[in-house]
Amino acid sequence: MAQSWNDLLFAHWPLPAERLRALLPPGLALDTFDGQAWLSVVPFHMSGVRARAMPALPRLGAFAELNVRTYVTRDGRPGVFFFSLDASELLAVAAARRFYHLPYFNARIAVRARERAVQYASERIHPGARPARFRAEYCPRGPVAPARAGTLDEWLTARYCLYAARRDGTLYRAEIDHHPWPLQPAEAEIRENGLASVWGLTLPVRPPLLHFSRRLDVRVWPLRRLSP
């Protein structure tokens, strides 16, 4: 799949490793930076979503998404593991759940990108799912600068694969190709954030570490089943 991610905010919080480790499926190891585990909330909107060498479909080609993720390793490959992915397009949710075994949920999402600031509001409406809301306004606050090698900023964002698990515990990995993130420092007013509490997690009172990216073009490869 090819797609572009637009007006994206990374909001990162440090959390106790034991709390996040307990939520991972067997076979994945929690990744930490200097012993610290992290949870990230990532709102953005997609465009140009399509199969490689094919045009974008009218409905599936553009929609908003909101991810909650942590950082894991398997066989020496660092990647991300998603606790939830809310999306505003029902067909995309159904396809991702079916073909990528990812915990997608249908949500009512409104994104308004003004000259500098982005207003983002999401309400989960997936049948049978616990309700979860997120509202924020965010904007870049500085020039574009790729993360320096070896820094926390690079560790949090330079992740080139995702991991997924079926209900029976079968693990999968999908490669993600893109250029280094064109990161900018950011500021955000997060007015409502009920995403972590669904998992029994409490975010610290301290402000999150924030990054902004205006656009990134991405390729996502098919899942590969991992051996037990």
pTM: 0.94
- Whether 100 and 120 have beta carbons less than 8 Å apart is answered as no
Domain boundaries of the chain, sorted by first residue: 2-222
Rg (CA), the chain: 17
The pair of three-digit structure tokens given for residue 147, joined into one six-digit string: 């993360």
Decide: helix, strand or coil at residue 46.
strand
Q: Would you state the pLDDT for residue 114?
A: 85
Backbone phi, psi, residue 173, to 5°: -135, 140
Mean pLDDT of each 10-residue bin along the chain, 228 residues long: 95 98 97 98 93 60 94 97 97 91 97 92 97 97 95 98 95 96 97 96 96 96 92
Q: Would you state the pLDDT for residue 61?
A: 72
| CATH entry, 2-222, from 3.20.20.140, 3.30.450.40, 2.40.400.10, 3.40.640.10 | 2.40.400.10
Q: Would you state the pLDDT for residue 94?
A: 92
Q: How far apart are CA 177 and CA 47, in angstroms?
A: 16
Q: Would you state the pLDDT for residue 58?
A: 57
